[in-house]
Chain A
Amino acid sequence: MALLEVRDLRVSFDTPDGAVRAVRGLSFDVEAGQTLAVVGESGSGKSVATQTITGLTRGAQVSGTAFFDGTDLISADQATLRRLRGAQIGMIFQDPLSSLHPHYRIGWQIVEMIRAHDREISKQAARRRAAELLTLVGIPRAAERIDDYPHQFSGGMRQRVMIAMAMALDPALLIADEPTTALDVTVQAQVLNVMRRLQDQFGTAIILITHDLGVVAEMADEVVVMYAGSAMERAPRRDIFYRNHHPYTQGLLASLPARSSERLTPIPGSPPSLISLPPGCPFATRCPHVFDKCRAEAPPLIDVGGDPRHQSACWLPHDLSEAIAS
């Protein structure tokens, strides 16, 4: 059994314009010790999905299940979720400054977090643990910097503090929502390196939410490609890049700036509104291979042959290259 099993997750928000169906029937597994990358563009539902799993989407209409270690996170009460969050499931977000309280020293914040989940531990021991954690994520002179305020750290260092806090109780799962998007590329490399090292050391499973296919190629074991609230394709990392099936996955990869100055191949148009989605495949309006069935009926995730973990939500035949050639 996987560490986390999400089945048919649906999330919608009521707005004056109508219900926004942010996540529409998403299923995926996260195996212990592995990294699952959830990739998609703005509005694809990748962040909403993971926030819902951890009980952070207030006021949304939610259905589906998300079993984590035997507990359904979707139907669990707030007390259970609060116990799991932090202790079993660590979280880091894009903007570390808004996740750290500006008013308190970072050491104090980590100690608070440790003591909230472990009432037995003494203040001194928790403080020692906080310093260890800061060293672990590569903050120089951790014993001195433990009494600094968040604003005294750079963006990359703040994100390390967030990782230290998320890892404080040795969680089985770390949810990282665009953890390096706000960082410069050399700092991003440092932070990704820290995440990789901690995963090796502690066997933490990671859900990595990102829009950056480069980060996916560097970090993922498996990948879910999301579009308009649902999974378009799901596969091990190499299959997503080298043996992909879904036209949206292909469109994303073709849009990337190439090494040469050849003309890029963008995906035409823009994503559909999540309030009034057309029937059928959500990508149909932008898909170069669209046919009648696509507009009428939304394809489920279908095995495409090859790796048993590789599935694509597309009506095209499995061997796409053959189909296009004919």
Chain B
Amino acid sequence: MNEVLLKVEDVRKEFPTHSREVVRAVDGVSLEVRKGETLGLVGETGCGKSTLARCMAHLYDVTSGSVWFDGAEISSLSRRAMRPVRREVQVIFQDPYGSLNPRRRVGSIIGDPFAIHGIASGAQRKKKVQELMELVGLNPEHYNRFPAEFSGGQRQRIGVARALALRPKLVICDEPVSALDVSIQAQIINLLADLQREFDLTYVFISHDLSVVRHVSDRIAVMYLGKIVELAPTSELFGQTRHPYTRALLSALPVADPDTADSREQIILGGDIPAATNPPAGCRFHTRCPKARADCAAGEPPLVAVLDDADNHRTACIHPLTLGEDLSTAVPDLKAS
């Protein structure tokens, strides 16, 4: 479990805008994905989680920094040199409608990876595709149907089958269940868990839905405005939350339990997420943080173990939460003392 499969080192990804500004979507992120684990990436719109995922799979060229897969750097590889790595690293996308070509038959969509990598053809390919369809819970007899003939959940199964065709080591799941109804979402989550066990898969699981991420992840990285603010094993992140943003995110999550909903103190953050073209100086969260102090605006806090945390729990905050600290009554004080 401790062997590193994918390593991201100080990755930055910038996008130019029309007004000659630069969106710093991912701004200096380092993390490791270990063999066999599920690493959750969570954060709100614009936090950079999907961009980071695309950098991991080298679907984007990074602006600076590097991505290593299985001990080799992949972020500077050419398309051609990237080919063998593509077999090992696959992506499942959110939209089961937009990511499947509506004019092609499902069998041929799932068979694409075999065709591209010249692995199997003809009857052999068809057999492999039908095995895959069976594996993900699709009826193999539906080989010749079009995507429109499948429901949303079934289409996501098609996406899963295509991603697994070449038996990858790492699967990056970018909001794979966000477009699905809750009863169907549970089917896909279970399917992903079964496949992980069967094929020793490693997952990077991206979602804005904390309850889904908590359910599937061994470790979770929380992102805010292009940076990781907290990275910890799942139970630690929820039980021993250190970063005020993580706490606010957890507290904002509606819980399907009236007793909890009635009794808890919610932390309602003020304002909106600042623009990624011009992030606040110092800690990026300090403009909305309930317990911000003057020194929060001074320097960017490093992602390190804080207080008495072990090295596997890292927080980018100079005033981390202590156990039991009440954030709902905190008041920011940005005046220098």
Write the residues of chain A forming the contact surface with B, with a CB cutoff of 8 angstroms: 41-42, 140, 154-157, 184-190, 192-193, 211-218, 237-238, 241-242, 251-261, 263-268, 270
- When distances are taken between beta carbons in the complex, the residues of chain A under 8 Å from B184 are 266, 270
- When distances are taken between beta carbons in the complex, the residues of chain B under 8 Å from A185 are 44, 208, 210, 249, 252-254
CB-based contact A217/B215 at 8 Å: no
CB-based contact B187/A241 at 8 Å: no
How many B residues face the partner with a CB closer than 8 A? 42
B216 to chain A, nearest CB (A): 7
Question: What are some 13 contacts across the A-B interface (CB < 8 A)?
Answer: A41-B181, A185-B208, A186-B248, A192-B254, A214-B255, A217-B255, A217-B258, A241-B256, A252-B182, A257-B212, A257-B214, A265-B186, A267-B183
Given contacts A42-B181, A184-B44, A192-B254, 16 further A-B contacts (CB under 8 A): A41-B181, A185-B254, A187-B44, A189-B266, A189-B268, A214-B253, A216-B256, A217-B258, A241-B257, A241-B258, A242-B258, A256-B182, A257-B215, A264-B190, A266-B183, A267-B186
CB-based contact B215/A258 at 8 Å: yes
B195 at the interface (CB under 8 A from A): no
B59 at the interface (CB under 8 A from A): no
**Known contacts A264-B190, A266-B190, A270-B184; A253 and B268 CB within 8 A of each other:** no
Chain A residue nearest to B43 in the complex (CB): A184
**Known contacts A156-B272, A188-B252, A266-B190; A252 and B183 CB within 8 A of each other:** yes
Write the residues of chain B forming the contact surface with A, with a CB cutoff of 8 angstroms: 44-45, 151-154, 181-187, 189-190, 193, 208, 210-212, 214-216, 238, 248-249, 251-258, 260-261, 266, 268-269, 271-273
- When distances are taken between beta carbons in the complex, the residues of chain A under 8 Å from B255 are 214, 217-218
Q: Is the interface of A mostly helix, strand, loop or mixed?
A: helix
CB-based contact A184/B211 at 8 Å: no
**Known contacts A256-B211, A263-B190; A188 and B257 CB within 8 A of each other:** no
- When distances are taken between beta carbons in the complex, the residues of chain A under 8 Å from B183 are 41, 251-252, 255, 266-267
A264's contact among B45, B153, B215, by CB below 8 Å, is which?
Answer: B215
CB-based contact A189/B252 at 8 Å: yes
Q: In the assembly, what is the distance between CA of A254 and CA of B189, in Å?
A: 13
**Known contacts A185-B210, A211-B182; A237 and B252 CB within 8 A of each other:** no
B265 to chain A, nearest CB (A): 12
A252 to chain B, nearest CB (A): 6
Chain B residue nearest to A248 in the complex (CB): B183
